[in-house]
Structure formats: C-alpha cells, structure tokens
Structure 1
Amino acid sequence: MFPKEVYIKRRNQLREIMKDGIALVLGNPEAPMNYAGNVYHYRQDSTFLYFFGIDHPGFAGVFDIDNNKDYIFGNDVDIDDIIWMGPQPSVVEQAARFGIEHTAPFNDLNSILAEAIKAGRKIHFLPVYRAENKILIHEMLGTPLNAIKENASEEFVKAVISLREIKDEYEIKELERAAAIGYEIHTTAMKMAKDGVYEREIAGECEAIALRAGGLLSFPAIVSKRGETLHNHEHGNLLKKGDLLLVDSGAETDTHYASDNTRTIPVGGKFSQKQKEVYEIVLAGINKGNELIRPGVTYQSIHLEVCKVLASGLKEIGLMKGNVEDAVKAGAHALFMPHGLGHMMGLDVHDMEDFGENLVGYDEKVQRIDQFGTAYLRLGKELKPGFVITNEPGIYFIPALMDKWKQEGLHLDFINYDKVNEYRNFGGIRLEDDVLVTKDGNRLIGKRIPVSVEEVEKIMC
C-alpha cells in the first residue's frame, strides 16, 4: 500500500473531474473454484484498489460528489471468520489506513442508493465483469442484467481513465519491482530451454518465481514452441533442439502492479540461420518502436511505422515484395503480424481493459482503423508523459491464415506465397518491452531482458 495521502489525492482529483451525483466502485467478491468454500486466489478490483486501497473481499466504495464525502461499506468479521482466518482489522481500521472517515455495514449501501434514487440523484457505476457484481447492480439500482454494460457511466469511466493512465512516482516504483521479477522469470526460462524439457516445466518455474517474490503472475504464462498461436496456454510439448520457444510472461507485485515481457529463444542455445534472419527483423521492429515512443505522438502511427520495418525486412528475405508503404497501407503485412503493437499497462496487465479498449486506447482525435491486424491495436491515441505501455511486434507463420489468404488471392502484389509456404512449420517470434513515456521521450521499465542474438545465445550457454 502507498501512503494514505496518495489515495486521498486520487479521490479528491476524481471529485474535481466529476460533476455531481454518487459514484459507486464495487470491490470484488471471492470466486469459487468448484464449491463456495474452495476459492481461487483472491484478486481485488483494480479501480477499487486505486481509490480505496483495501485488498480484501466484501467491500464497496462510494464517492458522494455532491457532499464531498467518501464512504466504505463492509462488514466486520465474526468469531467464525476469526477461527478460520485469524484476527482481522475492523472496517473502520482498514478505511482509516486509506484516509476514509465514513464507514457503514455493507447492507446499508442498498438503502443509501435507494434514497439517492428517490431524491433524483445521478448514480454512476463502472462496467462490471464479475457476475456477482452484475447481480448487485441489478438488485440495488434496478438496472436490467442485459443492460448493465450500456448503462455504465461514460463520464465516470473517462474520469477514472484520465487519472489511472498517468502513473505517479509510487506506481512507477511498483512497476520497476514487477519488472525485476519479470527479468528473473525470463532469464530463468532462457537457461531452462534445453532439449528434452517440457514446456510445463518452464511455465511452472515462471509461476514459482512470482510466488516466491510475494505475488502472482500478472497473467497465465504463454510458454510455447507453437508461438504462431498468439495466446497459446498449452504447455504439453516436449522441447527439442532447434525449436523456437516463445515465452510471454510477467509478474504482479503484492500491490498488484504488473510486468509483461516476451522473448523468443532457440532451444539448445543457438539460432539457425533461418531463425536468426526472422528474429533480427522483429528485433529491428521493437527497437524502432522504442526509438519512436515519446509524448505527442500517436501510438497508431508508431504501430504503422514498426509494421513498415517488419515488411521491409520480410521483403529482404523474399517473403514480401513490392512497395513497402503500399503493402502496409493495404494491410498485407498482417499475414505475418495480425495484432497491434501494444497496450497500456499498470494495475492490470492490459490496463483498464474492463472499461473497453475504445475508451482506454482511443479518443475523439484517433479512431480505430478497421483493417485486419491493425483493427486489433488496443492503444492508438496520443501518448502522454506517465503512460506505461508495451511494445511487442512479432512475425508469425500461421498455416490456416496462410492457406486462407492464398486461396482468396489476397495481396498477390505484396506476398510471395510459394516462399512463405517454406516457413509453414517455423512457428512465431515476438519480442516485448515495457516502456514509460517521459517528458522528453521514454525509458524502459526495469533492466532490459537479453534481446540481441548475441545476448540471448550467451545467457543460454
């Protein structure tokens, strides 16, 4: 947790932005695995953490904007809770840690909201992703379950985004902590990627490192020699010398700030010439992205510039042809990179994705491009100092996509399909850094994980 003054400042800033009414932030309940008493590891809602700090289930926070007050609603534990969980701080004690003076039992929330509705006051709530909280919204506000998403307050969402997207000094320190754990995860994976090792052994060690550091992984680890499947969570393959292993993993600190990095490494420690050629193209792409990231530039434009670097490299090795600018404008490069360059990162590995990508990653000035590949770009808008973003270009050879495009005769002026077919079993390569946008440019979050061919091969020896 941060000093309570940090949370007080955040809440005051929120009230300055919001016009009127009551703004409701529901904490997360427990999530049962297979019966009520056997639950998944608890994860608090990120926006609740950001404003109210309490990292336990059974709480809700309220901004009474009209009367300039904050409330925490929650219940004190009883003797049965103490027997199973040990002594617990009271609601008043927990609220005081985060500078909140007004508390009440959780059930009082319903009556307070009912009084506000009766008085004609505006009730703001955020998009809801937990089923239990959707039911709460339905019961307390009378919003139909199938209409909760569209009834969430865009004013409230935009206010929260405007605060959470700019990381302060405390948050940056936590992100650096997460990055240090991520560094250990990735360098350990590099040393483990040997002939005869199963993917699950490396995936298990990734998770163990995060647990030993006091947190969890920031998302389920992607550890796969079938890297052409972008989010491949299968870990059953036996690694063999000559395979490429894609490791996309990150850590979450005990305060829930994330890291998210990807490296692709040669099993056995040496890239083949063919692997090295493609790897160097992706490396040029990520380095170009890091070079271009600065305030005042849209991430959409950086995405497109990096795609030109990839297309140019693919042209040099004979997989693409024609004018590079025209190829990227037409979207031909998306056969090899069918995703966006990166996303926001912070308390969530895809920061604030529960609010919707269009509100988080786009605005009135920058709209999503409706074209295969680029349409999946999560972040397109102008960058500001304090943004923390990922930069993650990749090149993938996806047989089903290759066959589909060839059968449909797509982009024949830009793609050498016969040559592409020679890479049918190649897999995929992705590289990913976490980047802080600064006043004058950018800097990486944490020490850069080995990324050049020479660095990777050296650490794997």
Structure 2
Amino acid sequence: MTDTLDSTLASLYPEHLSILQQRAAEALQRAELDHLVVPAGVLRYQYFDDRDYPFAVNPQFKAWLPVTQAPGSWLVITPGSKPRLIFMQPHDYWHTVPSDPTGYWPSEFEISIIRTPDEALKLLPSNPARCAILGEDNAALGPFVPNNPPAVLDYLEFHRHAKTAYEIAMMREATRIGVIGHRAAEQAFRDGLSEFDIHLAYCAATRQDANDLPYCNIIGLNEHAAVLHYMTRDRQAPTQTRSFLIDAGASYQGYASDITRTYSTQQDEFQALIDAVDRVQLDLCAQVLPGTDYRDIHMNTHTALSQVLRDFDLIRCSPEAALSSRISNAFFPHGVGHPIGLQVHDVAGFHASDRGGRIDRPEGQPYLRMTRTLVENSVVTIEPGLYFIDMLLDELRPTPANSDVNWDRVAAFKPFGGIRIEDNVVATRNGAVNLTREAFAAD
C-alpha cells in the first residue's frame, strides 16, 4: 500500500508544485513584490513555564511540501527560479531533530541545511521590503517580519479552495486512516467501553494521538452527543449505553479528514432516525457539484431535516414553516459543513473573489462556515445533524412555535443526545466523489 501510494504521490507532485508556483507568481505580481517567503513557524512555550506546545506548522508552508515537523525552516519562492527550502536541523539533544529530506519531493527544491535560526538570514532574499512574508508574528527573524499582504493572501487562499490531484490523493489517504479508527471506535462502543477507552481505541487503530490528529476527537455517549464539541470523555462507562456519536479525523502529511458517525445500541426508533438522517446526508452529498452555491445545500439541509422531524412526529408543521419559525435551527443549530484540506476548517470559505470581499451567510444562519459557489475539485464536508439540546429547545417554549413541537416525542429522544453524519466530498464535473464512503466501502 505504501509503495503504491508513494508512487501515486510522486507522479502527481510535480503538477501540484507547478500550480502553486503559478499561483505564487500571480499573487506576487498583484502585490508588486518579488519573493514569497514562508516560515514553517517556531515552537511556542507555555506561559510561566519552559514546556513547549505541540508544534503546528504554518499551513502556507506545508502547502508546498510534505514537511510538518521542522520548526525554524523557511521557504523562498521566486518566480522563474527553483523553490528554496531552508531546512532547520538544529544541534539539539532535547528534541527530535528533523531527518534529512527524502522521498519524491526534495529534488524539486534547492535545499540548504541550517543549524541555528540566524543562519537563515544569509539565505533569505536581500531586501525584505520586496517580500510577501506569510506567517505569524512570532516567526519573525531579524528584518523578516511577517507582513501577510492582503493581495497575496486573498489570491492564494481563494484558489487553495480548488484542490490539486495530489492534494486529493493526500486527503483520500487521511480519510482511509480515519475510517480505520472509526471501525475500531464502533467496536469499542459495541463492547461497552467508556468514552475515554473508545478514544484510546481510535488512537491505537489510526496510530495517531493528540499531537497527530487534525482536531480533538469528539466521543459522546448518550446525552453527551447533544454537546456539539463534547471533549470531556468520561473514564467510566455509563450504567446504560444507548447511543454513540464520534466526530474524529486523521492526518496524512499535513492534510486532514473529518468524519462523523452516530450509532444506537439497538435496532430501535433512534436507529431509524439515524437511518433517516443518513439518507438525507447522502442526498446532500450528491449536490456537491461545480457551480452549486453551498448556501443552497445548507438551506436544503434545513428543509430535508425538518421533513424527517415531521415524519417522526417530532414537529407538526411543514418544513417551510419550521424554517421560518426557526424550529429547524433548534434541532439543527450548525452549518452543513465547511471547506477542508490543509486545515480542518480550510480558508476562504466566505471569499467573493481572489481579490477579497465577502459573501454573507443567509439570514438567520450564523454558524455556516462557507458561502461560496463550488468549483471543480472543491472539497467540503457535508454534516447534517439533529440534536435534542435543552438550551435551544427551551428558547422555543415561550414562542408561538411551541405548539408545533411534540414535546413528549422530544422527551423520548433526549436520552440519546443527537445525530450527526459527516463525509468529505469532492466536487467534480462527473459528479460528487465521496472520499469517506469510498473508504468505508473499501475497509
């Protein structure tokens, strides 16, 4: 598997790098600058302590090469020249020193090894004022202080929304690893383990822990599934386990997957509700096509989920009425998904164009994370959900919508917490490509 994947990535990487160089050249021309300079970033230390946080590489750095653990390194992109990697290998016996660059990508770079941060100054461009320096302030080195020119960032981030074939291959592998973890987590749930032990089963199966995973695993049993970002993880299993929601992804060389599944312990009415949401989710995934306004998918989600609520006698009004009265927001209070790639919530979800601007969310939908129209090779998550959240339901009680809710049915479902189902989907001219379902089918 590894040899085949490496061969695939090796064949796709030159085109990926060429596309990034074209984008960089255009972005620099717009900003009237000569060089793109990208620091990998530096270690951060806890306040009043000498303990460092896990290193998180600058996404603008890992877009160019599969290196995620080389703090103090730099990239220099100059149109018409071979990209330069200034690679930090410090003399250090306290931390693991990055290994020599190997694999399919180093031949594409002019690589200089440095041992101390100051050595980079001799290798960076002579005039920082002619550079677009992309990164955090703490990555500054002498006169090379990140300036993040809007013209450059707007262009690069807008076009990063369309993934290259190389990036999709990376995400497909991240998804494959994530599905292995989901299979192990489901079995741990079926075996009656605690949230904490289910989390450990996931990490063991993926061979990834908190420093590797793209985000903190959400592992919720029973009512905990109603907390959208539940991360407490009880150490003891509940006396009675009814339901399980897992939102967990995996990383591969800097790229993320983001997968959610929900299960019931029995073939009961809650499982039937899960199955209904799953059917809605598949219909929504099929709408991930070039030219589709992502806002439309989100609003279609409200309509479809409201129909499910009515079918299960949880509400007694039409889907249209549920949307206008905000009943649907009480049961589905988040967005249908988000862009994904180098970051779990990838950038430029609201960009109007590669020159900036913003496309607003639909009225009454404050948590939607993307408003753009999909293009060829957009990769997004689709994650409809239905939840029984006291805080939100209580807000309905004093309103006219109160009479449209079947509160006895709501009370019957509340002990199960909620449902979310999430896949990672690519928009292509030949249809939606569901990376997550592919991985589950192959596993």
- Residues 393 and 87 of structure 1, relative CA distance in 2, 3 Å threshold: closer
Amino acid at match of 1:323: S
Output the TM-score relative to the length of structure 2: 0.81
Of 196, 199, 202, the residue aligned with 2:195 is: 199
Describe how 1:421-432 pairs up with structure 2 within 5 A.
421-432=411-422
The reply to whether residue 420 of structure 1 matches residue 410 of structure 2 is: yes
2:303 corresponds, among 294, 304, 308, to: 308
Unaligned runs of 5+ residues in structure 2 are 1-5
Q: Deviations over 1:389-424 (max 9, x none)?
A: 1111000010122113323x1634754456534444
Q: Distance in 2 between matches of 1:53 and 1:433?
A: 24
- Match of residue 24 from structure 2: 14
Counterpart of 2:273 in structure 1 is: 278
Are the structure 2 counterparts of residues 86 and 115 from structure 1 closer, same or farther at C-alpha, using a change threshold of 3 Å?
Answer: closer
CA contact (8 A) 2:24 2:36 kept: no
Shift in CA distance, 39/376, structure 1 to aligned 2, threshold 3 Å? same
Q: Superposition pairs for residues 326-341 of structure 1, below 5 Å?
A: 326-341=321-336
Aligned to 1:124: 132
Listed as ranges, the gaps of 5+ residues in structure 1 are: 144-150, 452-458
Q: 1:357 to 1:137 in 2, by over 3 A?
A: farther
Question: In 2, are the aligned partners of 1:296 and 1:384 still within 8 Å (CA)?
Answer: yes
Partner of 2:256: 258
Matched-pair contact (CA < 8 Å) for 2:396–2:402: no
CA contact (8 A) 1:18 1:159 kept: no
Equivalent-residue separation in structure 2 for 1:289 and 1:104 (angstroms): 48
Shift of 1:370: 3.7
Mapped contact 1:28–1:58 kept (Cα < 8 A): yes
Distance 1:305 1:47 in 2: 34
The aligned residue for residue 218 of structure 2 is 222
CA contact (8 A) 1:194 1:239 kept: no
Root mean square deviation, CA, Å: 3.7
Contact 1:196 1:240 in 2 (8 A): no
SS of 2:175's partner is: helix
How many residues are matched?
Answer: 420
Shift, 1:347, TM fit: 2.0
Pick closer, same or farther for the CA change 1:256–1:415 going to 2, 3 Å. same
The equivalent position to 1:187 in structure 2, one of 180, 183, 191, is 183
2:137 is the alignment partner of 1:134: yes
Instruction: Name 1:358's counterpart in structure 2.
Output: 350
Name the residue aligned to 1:211: 207
Contact 2:20 2:64 in 1 (8 A): yes
Equivalent residues of 1:23, 1:63 under 8 A apart: yes
Residue pairs, 1:16-415, within 5 angstroms: 16-19=26-29, 20-21=32-33, 22-32=35-45, 38-55=51-68, 56-64=70-78, 70-73=83-86, 75-78=88-91, 81=92, 85=96, 88-89=99-100, 97=106, 99-101=108-110, 106-107=117-118, 115-117=127-129, 121=130, 123-126=131-134, 133-137=136-140, 140=143, 152-194=148-190, 196-211=192-207, 216-225=212-221, 226-236=224-234, 237-253=236-252, 255-267=253-265, 270-273=266-269, 275-352=270-347, 357-359=349-351, 366-371=359-364, 374-407=365-398, 409=399, 411-412=401-402, 414-415=404-405
Identity %: 22
Deviations 1:190-228 (A, max 9, x none): 211146421110101111222269x93221111111111
Separation of aligned partners in 2, 1:276 and 1:73: 54
Cα distance per residue 1:271-293 (max 9 Å; x no partner) = 322x1342233123202202222
Maintained 8 Å contact 2:171/2:341: yes
Aligned partner letter, 2:346:
D
Task: Pick one of 413, 424, 433 that aligns with 1:443.
Answer: 433
Flag the 1:337–1:324 CA change in 2: closer, same or farther, 3 A: same
